[in-house]
Structure 1
Amino acid sequence: MNVPREKVRRSFATAPDYDGHARVQRDVAEALAARIAMLDLPPSPRVLEIGCGTGFLTEALGHVGIGGDWLITDLAPEMVERCRARLGESAHRRFAVLDGEYGTPERAPFDLICSSLAVQWFDDAPAALSRMAGWLAPGGHLMVTTLGPGSFTEWRAAHAAEGLSAGTPAFAPVSTFRECTVTIENHVERHEDPMAFLRGLKAIGAQSAEADHRPLTPGQLRRTLGRFAQSGCEVTYEVVTCHVCRAS
């Protein structure tokens, strides 16, 4: 990943309508919660969530009956507050600003560490997951979803057809998650038109490009949008689920 951290934080902090446009993100969070519900967890687990956003995963885990003591975190203070507003205060829920890749959470170890579509913004996601696994209690589980390099293939192809490179971040290859059990699913989202796709990215704060990407000229953008429209305005999200279980 080569997107400046502060740029990522600002983009999500100011996302104008995350909940209204993050359809894939909601679906992925609900699917992850269903997987987590099948894990062998203690009756009252100690839970750490990384990159809570507005609370899709937090809420979904509550719906499938994951209780316990929670530490709910995000890099952006604004997202932490939006998640807090969504879920409300509770003696068993603590909210905190935390850089999940480089920070250190309070009150480790944890029985469950989870995250939905956040670690793809890390500088080195596989190394970060290895570090997080060190926060697990014996028998604890780390389960996260991230995006694989097969994401946004249609958007990249539209650029390539014009001899251009998309600014879409280079997500970590699946083969680099060596310490995890990995599963992959593709989620395809269809948009009404090319501009609807771009507006959706901006609305959820996911428009950050690679640091060295040169913005397209108006003519280049117009031609690229035309190519994208020819492909049907579909976008693939390659969702990678990583699972680590610490030995008892």
Structure 2
Amino acid sequence: MNELAHLDEDLKNDISSAFGKSAEYYQQHAELQKQAANRLIASLEPWRDILPSGPIIELGCGTGFVTEGLAELYTDKEIQVTDLSDQMVEFCQQRFADSSNLQFRVQDAEEVSYDDPHYAMTISGFTAQWFEDAAQTLGKWLQATKPGGLLLVSFPGNESFPEWEEKCQELGLPFTANKLPDVEEMVVKMSVGPAQVDYYEDTVTQSFDSAGQFFRHLKNVGAATQKEGRALSPKELTMLINHWDNSTEGNIEVSYHLVFLAVKRDYDS
């Protein structure tokens, strides 16, 4: 294993560990992720009865926000529920112990095999932002999906956190949020080949009592792992929090750029 691969594996382990430790908090407090999951499931209504035969695979199940909707909609289909974190898989499996059509396993979503496309639907909520190349990984997921099948994902896009970035610029500090997928770039890449691509964008704002509470929330839901670049020093972070709080009247507001992407694989692919 070369050094780069080793570093990548270390990063994945860090991400998996952070989310695994956050399972209880995530289930109770990840309101944005739950809202996005509900909207993702709601978008399935036109597709509910026209998916081809074959199993459904969910990648990055977390504590089961998307899983819950799938279990209600598709009682007669095999649903494979996966996550990089064994703790998340265990948590989700315990939640849905009475659902006989759900199968659970630990799986790296970037390592989906597409040699034999057999999934009626590939679905994932709030996972794509963690990949090294989101468009490339989603392309693999589409190839693993049967002709006539559906790839359906949600993720925070690259226009998220403008308030955070603005406060960093005002102080001359680096903006250390992880780089998020560019929706236009992703749509262009996903549109190459015999597939029908549709997407919807929205902005959702969350309020926090303070900037410190926002950063604690990111950490507590497991989303604070830094993929690249340097983190702020404790002194710099304190400076940012104090500046953000002192320059804001009332609650701190943080905007998320939500992206919902649906790709139907054509039968002639």
Shared fold (TM-score greater than 0.5)? Answer: yes
Name which one, 1 or 2, has greater alpha-carbon Rg.
2
- Distance in 1, matches of 2:164 and 2:41, equals 29
Contact kept, 8 Å, 2:52 with 2:148, in 1: the verdict is no
Q: Give the SS at the match of 1:138.
A: strand
User: Counterpart of 1:57?
Assistant: 66
CA-based RMSD of the aligned residues comes to 2.2
User: Counterpart of 1:227?
Assistant: 243
Summarize the Cα distance change of 1:43–1:123 in structure 2 as closer, same or farther, 3 Å threshold.
closer
- Distance in 1, matches of 2:138 and 2:104, equals 21
User: Counterpart of 1:8?
Assistant: 15
Contact kept, 8 Å, 1:12 with 1:79, in 2: the verdict is yes
Summarize the Cα distance change of 1:214–1:195 in structure 2 as closer, same or farther, 3 Å threshold.
closer
Gaps of 5+ in 2: 1-7, 191-196
Q: Is 1:83 matched up with 2:92?
A: yes
Contact kept, 8 Å, 1:41 with 1:111, in 2: the verdict is no
Q: CA deviation at 1:27?
A: 0.3
Q: Give the SS at the match of 2:266.
A: coil
User: Counterpart of 1:204?
Assistant: 221
- Distance in 2, matches of 1:84 and 1:216, equals 38
Q: Deviations over 1:148-206 (max 9, x none)?
A: 11112211222121101122100121121121422111111111112221221111100
- Distance in 1, matches of 2:54 and 2:152, equals 14
Q: Give the SS at the match of 2:15.
A: helix
- Distance in 2, matches of 1:247 and 1:208, equals 37
User: Counterpart of 1:244?
Assistant: 263
Aligned length: 245
Task: Give the TM-score normalised by structure 2.
Answer: 0.84
Q: Give the SS at the match of 1:151.
A: coil
Contact kept, 8 Å, 1:158 with 1:225, in 2: the verdict is no
Summarize the Cα distance change of 1:89–1:95 in structure 2 as closer, same or farther, 3 Å threshold.
farther
Task: Give the TM-score normalised by structure 1.
Answer: 0.91
The aligned amino acid for 1:62 is A
Summarize the Cα distance change of 1:44–1:135 in structure 2 as closer, same or farther, 3 Å threshold.
closer
- Distance in 2, matches of 1:45 and 1:31, equals 24
Contact kept, 8 Å, 1:4 with 1:211, in 2: the verdict is no
User: Counterpart of 2:231?
Assistant: 214
- Distance in 2, matches of 1:203 and 1:77, equals 18
The aligned amino acid for 1:241 is F
Could you tell me which of 32, 40, 46 is aligned with 1:38? 46
Greater relative CO, 1 or 2 (CA 8 Å, sep 6+) = 1
User: Counterpart of 2:194?
Assistant: none
